[in-house]
Amino acid sequence: MIFREAKIEDIKQIQLVRNSVKENILSNPDLVTDKDCEEFLIARGKGWVCEVDQLVVGFSIVDLKENNIWALFLKPEFEKKGIGQKLHQLMLNWYFKKTKTNIWLGTEPGTRAELFYKKAGWVEIGTHGDNEIKLEMSFDNWIKI
């Protein structure tokens, strides 16, 4: 496994990973365009990928503009191997070097993603959108972890 910063050339594979998930499925995959990915990787924040045999199997993207996690997804067959934890760590370490502002994310309640984030120290602070819970991580909480 290789973990590295995401590049524009990774976007096609990032999209494949995003559309392979079994939870937090996009109702319309066309809603997240390659241009959106490029904007979040270059202009708004930064991303990381995990490669296995030169294929992207997981990725994370953080948004400095809105102070949130834009994405953290793995191909289902690569779950429970520590990849998500490593991508999460890389992303939050970078984020909190840039700012001490609390970071948030939205995810569907009752999913493995919700459990993953809560186990990682995120705190539920309300709702986001129509059917998501909103979780938050503070700099102080991150340092303790």
pLDDT tops 90 at residue 22: no
pLDDT tens digits, residue range 38-58? 999 999 999 999 999 999 999
User: How many structural domains compose the chain?
Assistant: 1
Q: Which residues contact 86 (CB under 8 A, 6 or more apart)?
A: 3, 50
Distances (CA, A) of 105 to 8, 9, 120, 128, 145: 23, 26, 13, 8, 18
Short-list 14, 64, 70, 67, CA closest to 43: 64
Residue identified by tokens 């991508």 is: 87
Residue 75: CATH number of its domain: 3.40.630.30
What's the domain range around 138? 2-144
Q: What is the pLDDT of residues 81-140, one digit of tens each?
A: 999 999 999 999 999 999 999 999 999 999 999 999 999 999 999 998 888 999 999 999
What value does the mean pLDDT take over residues 17-21? 83
**pTM surpassing 0.75?**
yes
pLDDT bracket for residue 145 (50, 70, 90):
confident
pLDDT of residue 30: 66
